[in-house]
Structure 1
Amino acid sequence: MLQRFHLPLLILLLCGASLGLFVHKVHGLGFPLLPAQTTDSWIVEARISFEPTGGPVTARVFVPGEPRHLVLLDEHFISRGYGLTTDQAGDNREAVWTTRQPSGRQTLYYRATVAQLERERQGSVVPYPGPVNLPDLEEPYRSAAEAVVQRVRERSADITSFATVLIRDMNNTLDENMALFVSRNHTDRDRVQTAVQLLAGARIPARMVHGIPLTDRARDLQPQVWLEVHNTREWVAINPNTGAVGYPPNFLVWWHGDQDPVRLQRARNPQISFAVTRNIQDAVDVAQQRAELMDSRAVDFSLFGLPIQTQNMYRVLLLVPVGAMIIVLLRNVIGVQTFGTFMPILIALSFRETQLLGGVILFTLIVSLGLAIRFYLERLKLLLVPRLAAVVMVVIMLMLMLSILSHNLGIEHGLAIALFPIVILAMTIERMSLVWEEHGPADAIRQGIGSLAVAVVGYLVMINPYIEHLFFVFPELLLIVLAMTLLLGRYTGYRLSELLRFRALRGHP
């Protein structure tokens, strides 16, 4: 019983391992399925300047942490003569610059490269803080706040809907109770502060959020203010103007809370400005950076870590198993007859350099001339090994003659004939002559044409840039090729050529 299911279980194991790693690299890490695919990234820069007042200076600046739908591919802290540390300050991540004796106005820079995540991070970094305390309001604000909360609660179903209804009511200043808290000249920051206060009246945790829209070539950007409420599972973003749920696309959360982004010791007049520019990067490079930041082990055995020459070699070698599977399919299922098992795929590799038409012509010429000389050698009654050695020598001389002739005629494709596998050509000529003698010229020509046809099919597959990209970026797909080859190895049914050959017998018992 175990022997019966051994091969199916092995095939399922190979396919499962291959597809599991493939799906993780595509959906989890963002490796592209198409060659030469690019992805958008943004370079975000914060410029901080201030004036020291004497003595050692400490500058604390909020910087982005781990946004849920974006990833920080790279970041740089640019300063001169400053020490730098990064730390977590409550809900925020901050950079701390320190120096002992600054003079003149100081300028610091923070620069980060940001890219889109394929899937948004799940969950919140900050756990549920619990119900907040009621705000300490005096009359008539206390009664007005209770009335607002009661009215919103009647028209909402949960925490998120409560916040959206509240924001929409804040836009309606006709309500007398709401008019005590909101006026038309209030800024977004004022509105979010008011919303946090009113949500506290319903014991709902809420906080102010500041972020930067990632646009193309924007300077002197002002941070946008948003509202976040905690629904006991995660923080949910609310647009303070419309009540819509969720951040807009390409929005980078910079810091949380009602604090200024820059806090100074022994310095004054802080100024911060933001700039963004869009950048186009190779999708594979972005995926590798993302994998390193996510500490994924899937890229530890990636081919991209090899030297460039080795990478170029494997771009070709990884296609050989695909060609081998094609040979198995064409021989065992279709019934195409060829000389040897791997001769066609090696000839197909040579076609990559000679191009298809030139390669077919050169291959046909060498085999035809070599076959004629092989028949002459047969009359000399040579032993097998000397005869094969003579055929190899003749093949090399024929290749040399064709290269010189094509060069004199200005046909550059003929120079690539040296890339043909010499021993394979010699063995092909030897096998073809034996078939010619034993089964006749028809079978020999049929197998020769079959070998050439399989080589052409293999060439067309191996020059396909999509197939080359898939197997180089996702070499684990070779496990599926191996599984399919093992599956074809158990095929014992009729070949397609046999069905066509014996089609006349279908109606007979």
Structure 2
Amino acid sequence: MSRKPFYAVVALLFLAGLALSLYRHFTFEVPWLPGEKRQIWSIEAKVEFNAGRGPVKASLAIPGTQTGFTLLNESAASPGYGLSFLEQNGGTRAEWTIRNADGPQELYYRVDMLADPNARPRSPASIPGIVSHSVQEPYATAIEQVLMQARARSADAFSLTRELIRELDSRQQNAQLLAQYRDKNRLLVEMLNRAGISARLVKGLVLEDGRRRQSLVDLLQVFDEDRVEIIDPASGQPGQRENLLLWEYHSSPVLDLVGGVHSRVTFSMIEQEQPVRLALAKKFEESNLLNFSIHTLPLEEQALFKGILLIPIGVLVVVLMRVLVGLKTSGTFMPVLIAMAFIQTSLATGLIGFLLIVSMGLVIRSYLSHLNLLLVARISAVIIMVIGIISLFSVLAYKLGLTEGLKITFFPMIILSWTIERMSLLWEEEGPKEVLSQGGGSLLVAVLAYLAMNNDLIRHLTFNFLGLQLVVMAAVLLLGNYTGYRLLELKRFHPLAKED
């Protein structure tokens, strides 16, 4: 019979599991390694002004998701004020309103921004129109001469901007004259417009942990066809720095105040790190349909699945040890359940507890074999006996101050009972050597399964990438098709190899 359909199913499972895992990693940014954290900036804008005994309307430009930053949370504190978040000119503004206010006023706006290299604005930046300015002499001539010199050394809008900054920072006569005409940053926008280039001033906030009462800085946003670039007018350096957040980038005032005077906006900020799962929860909270993640379940179910999803790893270890190595175990998947108990108790406590319970159980079970009880009654007696042994050890451990000993209650009592029954029958039929062989094999496989299931990397991968369950299933199917020699069987054929 052809095995092609079988291998096709295995390949399909493997590819599907791998595709789901890659989708989770690249689309929802789930890391492959545990313990990764993300940087979050908590920024507070403080608006201060004096109200003039009447209605007040204060409109503050606020940031949104942009290149390098994702908006997670935002809130405002404004006792007595009404608050609305309005979309204006392609940007968002926080608007406070009150019917009557008098004296010094303070309004607060807070935002949490995730440093996110994959973040992109929801919509491309709108290109501002080119505004023509009438300039009087001698400034018009100076502007034309500076533009001519900068244009000769440039190749596009961005290099022209850098050359203009260099010219205006020089000590040449034209630069000194233009310094008396207009502020350098606004002059740059005007000169770029005169050269037929769209540009505008935007406001950015330099992020530095623990800083207070900071102000926004001017930046140039320059457009060249379908490209846009942020340029620092002070240094001429292109590109948006990692620690630079664009606060206002739609050619609007940072603060628009009606009914108040002497306004001021200052900023305070702190940096904090959060685990990736918490940091990205807000970012992808609306991606429910294709977000196949245990994290979308309630916490109680998450805790349950965190253990359940480790079982296939233990099963894979059992299949490897039985099919490839040839170890014998007492019960097919009893080692997996024992390994689950080891996770709850710790390995040393679990091993000692398992050996004590099974040893004492075998002694008592040997007495029950002389009573010639029916199977159901005998198993029931063994279950009650196991419960009694566990209770006795727990009380004894508590009296002796050995709190670790209390954890043996996590052992699966029914499985332990059947293990004692099987080993007792095996002792009677095959002798103590076979009991030690299967019991030792079970313990060895349980320890190996525990080491695999308790590994931080494996726990992270199984909990965050459900597609890996399909990969494990494909591996199990392949192992189930193995018909070759087991490693322990090679010892049996070793004398034949010597004869050859």
TM-score with structure 2 setting the length: 0.88
SS at match of 2:100: coil
- Aligned-pair CA distance for 1:258: 6.3
Given that 2:41 and 2:115 are in contact with CA atoms closer than 8 Å, whether structure 1 keeps it comes out as: no
- For 1:121-160, what aligned pairs fall within 5 Å after superposition? 121=120, 125-128=124-127, 132=130, 134-160=132-158
**1:411 to 1:51, Cα distance in 2 relative to 1, 3 A:** closer
Q: Which moved more, 1:210-219 or 1:314-323?
A: 314-323
2:214 equivalent to 1:181:
no
SS at match of 1:415: helix
Structure 2 CA distance, aligned partners of 1:105 and 1:390? 82
Structure 2 CA distance, aligned partners of 1:263 and 1:212? 18
SS at match of 1:74: strand
SS at match of 2:226: coil
Given that 1:75 and 1:113 are in contact with CA atoms closer than 8 Å, whether structure 2 keeps it comes out as: yes
SS at match of 2:38: strand
Match of 2:246 among 249, 253, 259: 253
Q: In the alignment, what sits opposite 1:471?
A: 462
SS at match of 2:28: helix
**1:352 to 1:251, Cα distance in 2 relative to 1, 3 A:** same
Structure 1 CA distance, aligned partners of 2:499 and 2:175? 93
SS at match of 1:268: strand
Structure 2 CA distance, aligned partners of 1:90 and 1:370? 79
Q: Which amino acid aligns with 1:9?
A: L
Q: In the alignment, what sits opposite 1:371?
A: 362
- Aligned-pair CA distance for 1:504: 4.8
Q: In the alignment, what sits opposite 2:61?
A: 62
Q: Which amino acid aligns with 1:247?
A: Q
Q: In the alignment, what sits opposite 2:231?
A: 238
2:193 equivalent to 1:193:
no
Given that 1:49 and 1:105 are in contact with CA atoms closer than 8 Å, whether structure 2 keeps it comes out as: yes
Q: Which whole-Å deviations, capped at 9, do the CAs of 1:367-419 have from their partners, x for residues lacking one?
A: 23333443444444444333333333333333344344444444443333332
Structure 2 CA distance, aligned partners of 1:38 and 1:16? 24
Please, which runs of 5 or more residues in structure 1 have no aligned partner?
none
- Aligned-pair CA distance for 1:423: 1.7
Structure 2 CA distance, aligned partners of 1:291 and 1:386? 56
Q: Which moved more, 1:204-213 or 1:50-59?
A: 50-59
Q: Which moved more, 1:371-380 or 1:357-366?
A: 371-380
Structure 1 CA distance, aligned partners of 2:498 and 2:289? 57
- Aligned-pair CA distance for 1:452: 0.3
- Aligned-pair CA distance for 1:476: 4.4
**1:225 to 1:399, Cα distance in 2 relative to 1, 3 A:** same
SS at match of 2:149: helix
2:208 equivalent to 1:215:
yes
Structure 2 CA distance, aligned partners of 1:504 and 1:228? 82
- Aligned-pair CA distance for 1:109: 1.5
Given that 2:20 and 2:466 are in contact with CA atoms closer than 8 Å, whether structure 1 keeps it comes out as: no
Q: In the alignment, what sits opposite 2:22?
A: 19
**1:159 to 1:482, Cα distance in 2 relative to 1, 3 A:** farther
Given that 2:314 and 2:336 are in contact with CA atoms closer than 8 Å, whether structure 1 keeps it comes out as: yes
Q: In the alignment, what sits opposite 1:290?
A: 283
2:349 equivalent to 1:358:
yes
- Aligned-pair CA distance for 1:116: 0.6
- Aligned-pair CA distance for 1:74: 1.1
2:284 equivalent to 1:312:
no
Q: Which moved more, 1:44-53 or 1:213-222?
A: 44-53
- Aligned-pair CA distance for 1:298: 6.9
- Aligned-pair CA distance for 1:229: 0.5
- Aligned-pair CA distance for 1:306: 4.5
- Aligned-pair CA distance for 1:439: 4.1
Given that 1:41 and 1:114 are in contact with CA atoms closer than 8 Å, whether structure 2 keeps it comes out as: yes
- For 1:55-454, what aligned pairs fall within 5 Å after superposition? 55-121=54-120, 125-128=124-127, 132=130, 134-174=132-172, 176-182=173-179, 190-256=183-249, 260-292=253-285, 295-297=286-288, 302-304=293-295, 306-454=297-445
Structure 2 CA distance, aligned partners of 1:101 and 1:122? 38
Given that 1:11 and 1:487 are in contact with CA atoms closer than 8 Å, whether structure 2 keeps it comes out as: no
**1:18 to 1:482, Cα distance in 2 relative to 1, 3 A:** farther
Please, which runs of 5 or more residues in structure 2 have no aligned partner?
none
Given that 1:212 and 1:252 are in contact with CA atoms closer than 8 Å, whether structure 2 keeps it comes out as: yes
- Aligned-pair CA distance for 1:135: 4.1
**1:333 to 1:252, Cα distance in 2 relative to 1, 3 A:** same
**1:211 to 1:341, Cα distance in 2 relative to 1, 3 A:** same
Structure 2 CA distance, aligned partners of 1:278 and 1:407? 46
Q: Which amino acid aligns with 2:72?
A: L
Q: Which amino acid aligns with 1:155?
A: R
Given that 1:21 and 1:298 are in contact with CA atoms closer than 8 Å, whether structure 2 keeps it comes out as: no
- Aligned-pair CA distance for 1:177: 4.0
Q: Which amino acid aligns with 1:103?
A: D
Q: Which amino acid aligns with 2:34?
A: L
SS at match of 2:283: helix
Structure 1 CA distance, aligned partners of 2:275 and 2:344? 27
Q: Which whole-Å deviations, capped at 9, do the CAs of 1:14-69 have from their partners, x for residues lacking one?
A: 3212332233232xxx668324x543322212222333345432222212133321
- Number of residue pairs matched by the alignment: 497
- Aligned-pair CA distance for 1:261: 1.9
TM-score with structure 1 setting the length: 0.87
Structure 2 CA distance, aligned partners of 1:275 and 1:68? 21
Structure 1 CA distance, aligned partners of 2:189 and 2:271? 34
- Aligned-pair CA distance for 1:260: 3.9
**1:50 to 1:352, Cα distance in 2 relative to 1, 3 A:** same
**1:158 to 1:489, Cα distance in 2 relative to 1, 3 A:** farther
Q: Which amino acid aligns with 2:195?
A: A
Q: Which whole-Å deviations, capped at 9, do the CAs of 1:409-454 have from their partners, x for residues lacking one?
A: 4444333333221221122123223444444433321111110011
2:24 equivalent to 1:33:
no
SS at match of 1:114: strand
- Aligned-pair CA distance for 1:352: 2.9
Backbone CA RMSD of aligned residues: 3.0
Given that 2:65 and 2:119 are in contact with CA atoms closer than 8 Å, whether structure 1 keeps it comes out as: no
Structure 2 CA distance, aligned partners of 1:11 and 1:165? 56
Q: Which amino acid aligns with 2:164?
A: L
Structure 2 CA distance, aligned partners of 1:499 and 1:155? 79
**1:123 to 1:113, Cα distance in 2 relative to 1, 3 A:** closer
